[in-house]
Amino acid sequence: MSTAEAQGRVGKYFVVYLCMLAIAAIELMIAYRHPSGAHLLVSMLLLAFAGALLGVLYFMGLGSENHKSIAAFAVFTLFVLATINYGWTDSFRLLFGVPFAN
């Protein structure tokens, strides 16, 4: 790798880092405007998704992978997020007690 390629790669990461800082600043400005609950939820989730997407694509290197690898990573991530829901039902014991206990 030549020094020009290395400088271009570092420059790309610096631009992505600045974009992520800008996303954090926008989130802070939105939070201090005190919008309604639904507007706050949607805007923060969209900005968090954009920041996570930038981090995954550039800092984890998925942006340079082929499309099949990205699709496999997305399917695996969605599978993990879907199966996490089965473990959360145990936390309802704190609110309602042990089910079917006499």
pLDDT in tens, 60-89: 777 777 888 888 888 998 898 888 877 666
Q: What is the pLDDT of residue 73?
A: 84
Whole-structure pTM over 0.85, yes or no? no
Q: Among the residues of 33-92, which ranges form H helices?
A: 37-54, 67-88
Predicted confidence at residue 69, as pLDDT, reads 82
- If the chain, 102 residues long, is cut into consecutive pieces of 10 residues, what is the mean pLDDT of each piece? 69 89 95 90 93 85 79 88 73 64 54
Across 9-23, b (16+ Cβ under 10 Å) vs e yields eeeeeeebeeebeeb
